[in-house]
Each structure stands twice: as structure tokens, then as C-alpha cells.
């Protein structure tokens, strides 16, 4: 009988997801937000995502051998709970709770998982539930999915799991060995999130915006070293300013923030609005610089020997999506290859927990080569959705079915004429990046196309950058490196020639966060870029996620039609079907 492991995340109150391994193969993975249309799906369980995974595999709950969850009880006889209590002594209720009832959150989560399983048709009394420590699940999602066979350094940085915030370890022969963990409130992810709030964005979502704002500022204008230090192998965050709880929090409209009034006294009022203005651009640059400096120092201290031995490193946790840090890691001479889990945030812990349990049961998991793991829809599904959408609104939509072989050339022509296109194909991506199946595409050599997408389609801040997808033959020429980059988890310096060839996908600092695609993993998208290369000379597409500001990525044809008719997009391609707003 095949070994079947279902991973379910959502323990820390956001980004619930499900992932299904059968005999070491990841057959399905999806985030709950895509089905319920609620970004990050806060305080939900991954019911719809799990139901999809089971249906995709064609299995019943009785066929599942174990359910892996990325949250585990933490013993009082380890440093974690004591560290939390000592560092939060200014809030005695929280400190004492950590010591006397420190696993209450785990028990509450497990009960919610059992309820979710019951709704899915499982018998919670019969199914084996396997808890995996949160940061171990992150580590497993990186190392076990990397495909690295050599000894591998493992890094995990995020806000917080049970108590841990940072993980250093190494993997070899499928086993993970822990070297060191840091505990709340000593969290670089938490610190970056607190400054994200101060800069006027939402935690869990706005960190990318801070990173995108940073190149417009000058990090030397403000010294942020008082916020955190790394000395003698220990990270310490200054809780006079950030990672604060209780009465130390700055409050706005009754809501507490993770920074303090002391931070506001030092830096001035909290930022408001969408403009990338001074002094806030310099604050963004300063927190990014501090984050990079401390992260690299910690890597040197705990993982330097392993990197000098083998050059391999695997990275997960929400901070692994900080592509500027990843660029600095790759640039280090001792690093041969960095693998970043493409769903590095808590959504990816469903994969990590399931992979860890599968490995422990004696079935190694396969290398993660792609993330096309979600639902897919046929031409018939698309046409039915178009008909239903038209009936509801009493209109007849303008659409046509294109021959499959002709579609890439047809769409490339529309792009080359300067038109953005909504591109809906195959199985939905797992993780935060659109990688050519749920994307808005543009031609990056057309002046102004990025501003048009920001202002008229995505409705987001004008200074936000866009990323390129490109043929694998283009990557080495555009960046001067052959480092694998299939998941948009790294930025690279763009060669001078290409800055003028594809300016719409080059950020303020001369870098691009790239997807370098091999044809075997997405033939249709590859062929589209090949057709674009014939027309423009550049096998590169501007690629951003198919959604509007504040919304999760599109999942179904119905979602795509709603977004299409709620924006200034003129063309939507779903499978072989081209929908137009007007005949051109």
C-alpha cells in the first residue's frame, strides 16, 4: 500500500494550507485563501484546501496514513518557555502563562484540526496526528525538498512558531540536525514586521512593500543598530522599541501594534498613504540593511563551517522571501547553491511537516521542481463559467476558442502591441508567486506598461516593482549567472544591455527578481515567451500575480472573470479561450 501523508498548516492563525504526499511524491498543495477568497485566511482551518488535495488524488480519508501538523508541544525542560518568560517579564500575565500553561495554544490548535478532519470525513479517533515543531517543519520544507545530496546548511527565519523564531541546522542523508534556535521576542522576522507596521503596511503582507521601497532610500541616513544586535552567538531585539506586547504597544484606533510609542518618539509619526516619501524611504532602507547585516552575521557564526565544506544551503520561513537577503547569500564565495522553499511562509509548513513525517516513516520525498500543484480547469469548465457569468449580468461576452498550437503566438502578438493580458492556465501555483499559470503578463520592452498595470489593473502603489519570467537561454545572458531560479525567490543584478532592453522589469537598484523557466515544467508559458522573443528579440515577459490589491491570487475561472471585469484589462486567456472586453 502507498504511504499517504496529509499536511495541514494554520497553527499560528494565518496562511492555512494543505499538502498531500503519496509515496514521497507531492501530488497536491494549496492555500485556503485561494478557495475562500480571503487573503491569508486568518484564523481559518484548511478545510477547502484539504478537500481539494484529497479530490485531486482521488482518495478517501480512510486512505490517509497520517496527518502531519506543523506545531508541537514544547517541554518546560527546554530553554524556550523560560526565555520567553524572562524577556517578557514586564508583562507578568504573559510570562507566567508561558511557564504554567505554555502549550495551551497547541492544544487549542489540535482541537481545531480534529474538528476540521471530522468535517472532511475522517475519524479523529482513528487517524494518526503527527505534531512537528514549527521550525522543524520549515527546515524540512527547505532541506527535504531541495534535492541536495551533500551535507546542507539549513536556515529558518520567521516571526515566531511555538516559541522559536530562528533555526540553524544541517541536513545529511535525509536527517535534520538542530544547531541552535532563538526564541521570542528575539526575532528578526518580528522586528521587520514591526517596522512594516510603522511604515504603514500590514504585517504578513507588507514586508514585500518595505523591501520594494528600500532601494529608493539611503540606509546611511539613519542608524538602526539600537533595534537589535548579534553578539557572542546571541540575537537580542530591543523590546523598548519593537516586538512588544501589552502596555508597551503603540495603539491606533484601539488596535495594538508590534512597535512602541518610544519608536514613534524617535522616528516621528507612523507613515500613512501610498506615496514612497521621505523620511520613510530611508527608514525602509535602514531596516533592510540591518536585517541583511544581522542575518549574514548569524549565518557566518552558525553555518559558516558547513558552507565552506559543501556550499549548499536551504532556507525557509517568511524571511526567506526577502529576495535582497537571498541575493547577498548567493554572492558569498563559499555558497555554491541556495534553495529557498517557494512557499517559504507558514503555508509551506504543510509541505514541510508532511515531508518530515514521510521521511520518518521511511519514504524519502522527491525534489520540488515546480509548484503547479493546485486546481486546474478544462476548456469546458471555462466556457461554462463564461456562459454563467454572462447570464447573471444579462450580457453576451465576447470570446473565442483558439487552436492550442496557435495560442502562444496569438497572445505574444497582443503583448508586443503593448497590451497587458490576464493569463490563466493549468494548475494553480502553490506559494505567493505567480509563475505563469495565474499571471498578468506584459511586454517588458513597452514603455509604461508597468505603471499601467499598477494604476489601472492591480490598483497598487506606483513604486512597486514587477518581475520577469524568462527562457532558460536568457537568464545567463541577462544576469551573468547560471544559478537556478525557477521560483522568483532571488534578485540578480541586471547586465547593462538588458536594462535598456527590458526596462519595465528592472527595479530602482538595477536588479530583477526573476523566474528562469525550463520548458519541461511549463511548456505553454515557455512557448509564449519564445514567440515573444521572435517578435521583440527578448524572451522575457513581465509577470505579476493575477489578482488585485488586497486579494488572494485567482483560483477559478469565475474568480478570473470577476477580476477581469473589475479592472481595465482588455484581454483574458483561460486555457484555449480568449475573452475580450471589446473587439480591437
pTM: 0.97
Instruction: For residue 417, give every residue at least 6 positions away whose Cβ sits within 8 Å of its Cβ, in sequence order, or none.
Output: none
Cα 479 to Cα 463: distance, rounded to the nearest angstrom? 23
Tell me 454's DSSP state.
I
Cα 445 to Cα 139: distance, rounded to the nearest angstrom? 39
Cα 55 to Cα 373: distance, rounded to the nearest angstrom? 13
What's the pLDDT at 459?
A: 84
Cα 231 to Cα 293: distance, rounded to the nearest angstrom? 13
Boundaries of every domain in the chain: 183-340, 379-580
> CA of 545: how far to CAs of 153, 154, 304, 347, 431, in Å?
31, 29, 36, 17, 11
- Give the CATH architecture of domain 183-340: 2-Layer Sandwich (3.30)
CA 97 from chain centre, in angstroms, equals 32
What's the pLDDT at 47?
A: 98
| Cα–Cα nearest to 204, from 581, 559, 556, 552 | 552
For 236-249, give the DSSP string. EE-TTTBS--GGGS
User: Which residue matches cell numbers 475573452?
Assistant: 579
Element (H, E) at 315: strand 312-316
What's the pLDDT at 461?
A: 81
What's the pLDDT at 584?
A: 34
The CATH class of 379-580 is alpha beta
What's the pLDDT at 582?
A: 67
Active-site residue set? 14
Q: CA end-to-end span of the chain, whole Å?
A: 56
Q: Which residues of the chain have pLDDT under 50?
A: 583-584
| Contact in structure between 367 and 147 (CB atoms under 8 Å) | yes
Element (H, E) at 467: strand 467-471
What's the pLDDT at 539?
A: 98
What's the pLDDT at 583?
A: 47
> CA of 265: how far to CAs of 190, 202, 260, 269, 575, in Å?
20, 21, 9, 8, 54
Amino acid at each position: 500500500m502507498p504511504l499517504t501523508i496529509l499536511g495541514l498548516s494554520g497553527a499560528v492563525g494565518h496562511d492555512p494550507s494543505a499538502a498531500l504526499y503519496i509515496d514521497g511524491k507531492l501530488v497536491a498543495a494549496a492555500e485556503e485563501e485561494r478557495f475562500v477568497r480571503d487573503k491569508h485566511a486568518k484564523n481559518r482551518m484548511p478545510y477547502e484546501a484539504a478537500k481539494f488535495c484529497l479530490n485531486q488524488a482521488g482518495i478517501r480519508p480512510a486512505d490517509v496514513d497520517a496527518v502531519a501538523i506543523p506545531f508541537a508541544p514544547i517541554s518546560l525542560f527546554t530553554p524556550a518557555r523560560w526565555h520567553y518568560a524572562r524577556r517578557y517579564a514586564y508583562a507578568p500575565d504573559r510570562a507566567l502563562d508561558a511557564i504554567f500553561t505554555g502549550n495551551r495554544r497547541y492544544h487549542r490548535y489540535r482541537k481545531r484540526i480534529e474538528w476540521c478532519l471530522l468535517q472532511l470525513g475522517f475519524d479523529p479517533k482513528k487517524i494518526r496526528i503527527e505534531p512537528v515543531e514549527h521550525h522543524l517543519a520549515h527546515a524540512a520544507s527547505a532541506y527535504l525538498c531541495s534535492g541536495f545530496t551533500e551535507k546542507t546548511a539549513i536556515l529558518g527565519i520567521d516571526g515566531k512558531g511555538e516559541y522559536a523564531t530562528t533555526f540553524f541546522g544541517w541536513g545529511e542523508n535525509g536527517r535534520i540536525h538542530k544547531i541552535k534556535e532563538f526564541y521570542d521576542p528575539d526575532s528578526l522576522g518580528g522586528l521587520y514586521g514591526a517596522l512594516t507596521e510603522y511604515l504603514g503596511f500590514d504585517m504578513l503582507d507588507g514586508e514585500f512593500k518595505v523591501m520594494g521601497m528600500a532601494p529608493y532610500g539611503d540606509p546611511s541616513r539613519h542608524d538602526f543598530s539600537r533595534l537589535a544586535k548579534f553578539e557572542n552567538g546571541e540575537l537580542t531585539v530591543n523590546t523598548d522599541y519593537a516586538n512588544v506586547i501589552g502596555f508597551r504597544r503603540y495603539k491606533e484606533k484601539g488596535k495594538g501594534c508590534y512597535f512602541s510609542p518610544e519608536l514613534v518618539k524617535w522616528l516621528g509619526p507612523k507613515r500613512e498613504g501610498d506615496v514612497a516619501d521621505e523620511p520613510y524611504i530611508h527608514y525602509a532602507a535602514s531596516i533592510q540593511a540591518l536585517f541583511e547585516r544581522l542575518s549574514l552575521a548569524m549565518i557566518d557564526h552558525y553555518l559558516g563551517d558547513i558552507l565552506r565544506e559543501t556550499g549548499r544551503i536551504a532556507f525557509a520561513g517568511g524571511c526567506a522571501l526577502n529576495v535582497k537577503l537571498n541575493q547577498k547569500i548567493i554572492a558569498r564565495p563559499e555558497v555554491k547553491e541556495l534553495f529557498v522553499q517557494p512557499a517559504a511562509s507558514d503555508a509551506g509548513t504543510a509541505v514541510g511537516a508532511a515531508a518530515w513525517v514521510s521521511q520518518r516513516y521511511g519514504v524519502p520525498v522527491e525534489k520540488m521542481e515546480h509548484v503547479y500543484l493546485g486546481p486546474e480547469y478544462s476548456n469546458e469548465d471555462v466556457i461554462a463559467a463564461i456562459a454563467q457569468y454572462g447570464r447573471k449580468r444579462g450580457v453576451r461576452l465576447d470570446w473565442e476558442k483558439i487552436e492550442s498550437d496557435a495560442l502562444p503566438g496569438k497572445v505574444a502578438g497582443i503583448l508586443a502591441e503593448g497590451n497587458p493580458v490576464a493569463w490563466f492556465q493549468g494548475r494553480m501555483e502553490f506559494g505567493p508567486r505567480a509563475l505563469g499559470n495565474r499571471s498578468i503578463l506584459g511586454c517588458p520592452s513597452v514603455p509604461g506598461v508597468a505603471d499601467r498595470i499598477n494604476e489601472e489593473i492591480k490598483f497598487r502603489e506606483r513604486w512597486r516593482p514587477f518581475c520577469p519570467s524568462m527562457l532558460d537561454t536568457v537568464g545567463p545572458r541577462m544576469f551573468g549567472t547560471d544559478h537556478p531560479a525557477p521560483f522568483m525567490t532571488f534578485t540578480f543584478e541586471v547586465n547593462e544591455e538588458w536594462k535598456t532592453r527590458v526596462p519595465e522589469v528592472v527595479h530602482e537598484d538595477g536588479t530583477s527578481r526573476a523566474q528562469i523557466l525550463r520548458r519541461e515544467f511549463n511548456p505553454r508559458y515557455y512557448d509564449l515567451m519564445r514567440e515573444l522573443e521572435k517578435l521583440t528579440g527578448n524572451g522575457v515577459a513581465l509577470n505579476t500575480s493575477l489578482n488585485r490589491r488586497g486579494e488572494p491570487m485567482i483560483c477559478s475561472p469565475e474568480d478570473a472573470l470577476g477580476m477581469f471585469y473589475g479592472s481595465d484589462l482588455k484581454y483574458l486567456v483561460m486555457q484555449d479561450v480568449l475573452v475580450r472586453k471589446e473587439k480591437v
